[in-house]
Structure 1
Amino acid sequence: MPQRVTMATVARRAGVSPMTVSNVLKGKQSVSPELRSRVEAAVAETGYRFNATARTLRSGRSGVIGLLAPGSTSPFSYYGMLGGLIAQEARRHGLTLAMESPEPGREAEIGAIERARAMSYDGMIVTPLAMGPEDGPLLPQDFPVVVLGERPAPHGTAHISLPNHAGAFDATTHLLERGARRIALVSGRPGPEENVLTRRADGYREALAAWGPEAGAPVLIEVQELGPQAGREAVRAALAQGRRPDAYLGITDSVALGVMRGLADEGLRVPEDALAMGFDGIPEGEFSIPSLSTIRPDHAWIARRAVDLLLERMGSDAPAQLGGLELTAPHTVLPRESTGR
């Protein structure tokens, strides 16, 4: 009968302790590259398979956390980028991140959290599009949840939001400082509920008002969705109607990238004929031509704080009783070629 391969078998083959083998298998970054290579070689040579079920039974944890975020697998996705940073941070703590894009609707979001609990995830980071403060009691009280995003969070949860108002204020001020006086906000139409659109629109309008009459009145170029094609089509339609501002503030980087494409379609140059700026700091903006000026939230800070808050709740027998917490990410104005007059 073949001898059973255990973690101790791998440790003997690699010449390390079983704890070192465990740390390598959990993805912890504290192990040196040389020891990691020896352990990985020993795992391959022995054919060792990590028994996740046994670990769950022993520790009460699966080592898996979830991220529920809209469009996390789409091109030009802010949450796809942020998900990568959260996955790196999770690995630092020996955790694996499972990413999921929710179906639309409040029930679907709550159902996804319930499924994650049923699948023995250790906790979940959630970016809701429909859940609100009143839904706190509907969440599993024994399941750790941290909320990201712009909607008011369910009562009792830890919530990290982007600097939407302050960032849009700073972006608009940056365009004014570059000489723009007819700045259009390219965005979906803000609704009655507070969300990313309303907060960024408020920051834009307040910056114009703070600058004074020479800043001009607010102008909205409406998009039907927050993607590059929508930004492209909206700007081309506005130009066809004779609406030609001297600067465009995209509600997101992906919209702003579409704006620049639409201006190029019509023979207009950025920044010579009009300035353009985005918000979110997605990597694609650095490589566009011209490169896109943007508001860049501190994404590494968001990932680190989200995982730390989740770990804190994972260590509690009653995570829901830790109470609510509201944090806003820091940000920087990142000037690039699109505002480089």
Structure 2
Amino acid sequence: MGVSLKDVALRAGVSVKTVSNVVNNYPHVTTVTRARVQQAIDELGYRPNLTARHLRKGRTGILALAVPELSNPYFADLAGAVIDAAARHDYTVLLDHTAGERAKEILVCQGFRSHVIDGLILSPIELETEDLLGRTDTAPLVLLGERQYDVPYDHIAIDNVAASRTAVRHLLDLGNRRIAFLGARFESERQPAHLRLRGWREEIRAAGLVPDESLVIATDGYGRTDGAAAMAALLDRGERPDAVFAYNDLIALGAMRTLTERGLRVAQDVAVVGFDDIEEGRFGGVSLTTISPDKQAIARLAVDGLVQRLARSPSGPPAAEPRRARPGFRLVVRESTARRTP
């Protein structure tokens, strides 16, 4: 049999209630008593039954994270951060993959797994406002990503326009004037790609220049092959830029490959900035300058928001208003924008 609370109480010479208070980190326990109970826990190897604890509260102890693409390093990094944040609250995370398809995103947000999860963190791509307004599942929901929705759910997203302007300003400060944007999408003004393109336009105008729309290249996807193809299309029509701002790091890495194959030097001939700060960008032949979203803060805000709503008693005060949190970001300068030598 496993070690019980009663066993710990007997070893520490306290009541079972006191051991429970220590295990659940309740504040009203003296420092001396807490140390004695913790010593007994360590000596006996006691491990709390988290499943039983959640069941007593009518919970499963599981949160779900649904992302468009688990193979994308950004979402893999984000998933790891969410798992770490959830573990601090004794929650397990169930990962789901929507492929960015509206039907799958609707299925997830409508609670097809509501019997096994307590709350959902969703990063949507194609989901529409009406899909969320028609949601009947009562499990708390937190939205991630830059697509904008006027809905009564928490939404965690960095300021894409400001982040993009920071990237473009860096390229302008290096003396670049023909700055391409790779990875545009034109279907919706609420899409992240549109917001990053908007930042590109705003910062170029702020520098007293006219955005050259011939340097904007749309892509079918957001991977390395899309970036390579976009860069090739731009060069093939004679529109050689002196810098590139890519929608994400994967597109930037693909573009850098094409530049190298065409005999152009990254940084010296064409500076490149990406977005996401994935690990691969740090270890290429030329390390990638990028916008680094605070993934740890995104994960922490999302998980904490769910846990706070789950802790609310049905008979308690009304739920708090939905949050619109804006985690930070920073520009990480690496070799792909190294200053050119005369």
TM-score tier, shorter chain, comes to: 0.7 to 0.9
SS at match of 1:129: coil
Q: 1:99 matched to which residue of 2?
A: 95
SS at match of 1:116: coil
Aligned residues: 320
Q: 1:28 matched to which residue of 2?
A: none
Matches within 5 A, 1:103-182: 103-113=99-109, 114-119=111-116, 121-140=117-136, 142-153=138-149, 155-182=151-178
Q: CA deviation at 1:332?
A: 1.4
In 2, the alpha carbon distance for the partners of 1:21 and 1:100 equals 35
Aligned residue identity for 1:217: D
Q: CA deviation at 1:301?
A: 1.5
2:86 to 79, 84, 90: 90
Aligned residue identity for 1:7: S
In 2, the alpha carbon distance for the partners of 1:211 and 1:271 equals 21
Q: 1:61 matched to which residue of 2?
A: 59
Q: Percent identity?
A: 33
Within the alignment, does 1:273 sit opposite 2:269 as a pair? Answer: yes
Structure 2 unaligned residues grouped into runs of 5+: 26-33
Query: Over aligned residues, Cα RMSD in angstroms?
Result: 3.1
Structure 1 unaligned residues grouped into runs of 5+: 25-30
Note if contact 1:187-1:250 (Cα within 8 Å) is conserved in structure 2.
yes
In 2, the alpha carbon distance for the partners of 1:337 and 1:13 equals 62
Note if contact 2:114-2:137 (Cα within 8 Å) is conserved in structure 1.
no
In 1, the alpha carbon distance for the partners of 2:195 and 2:43 equals 48
Note if contact 1:188-1:226 (Cα within 8 Å) is conserved in structure 2.
no
2:212 to 199, 202, 217: 217
Q: What do the CA deviations read for 1:212-233 (whole angstroms, capped 9, x no partner)?
A: 13x7624112322101121112
In 2, the alpha carbon distance for the partners of 1:14 and 1:220 equals 70
SS at match of 1:221: strand
Q: What do the CA deviations read for 1:135-178 (whole angstroms, capped 9, x no partner)?
A: 33422453111111122236110111222111111111110101
Matches within 5 A, 1:2-81: 4-5=1-2, 7-8=4-5, 11=8, 19=20, 42=45, 50=49, 52=51, 54-71=52-69, 73-74=70-71, 76-81=72-77
Aligned residue identity for 1:133: T
In 2, the alpha carbon distance for the partners of 1:136 and 1:14 equals 53
In 1, the alpha carbon distance for the partners of 2:143 and 2:161 equals 19
**What's the TM-score, normalizing by structure 2?**
0.82
Q: 1:335 matched to which residue of 2?
A: 333
CA distance 1:14–1:88, shift in 2 (3 Å): farther
Note if contact 2:201-2:211 (Cα within 8 Å) is conserved in structure 1.
no
Matches within 5 A, 1:229-268: 229-268=225-264
In 2, the alpha carbon distance for the partners of 1:104 and 1:244 equals 32
Q: CA deviation at 1:328?
A: 2.0
Aligned residue identity for 1:118: H
Q: CA deviation at 1:107?
A: 3.8
In 2, the alpha carbon distance for the partners of 1:68 and 1:326 equals 19
Q: CA deviation at 1:267?
A: 1.9
Q: CA deviation at 1:300?
A: 1.7
Note if contact 2:179-2:242 (Cα within 8 Å) is conserved in structure 1.
yes
Note if contact 1:160-1:306 (Cα within 8 Å) is conserved in structure 2.
yes
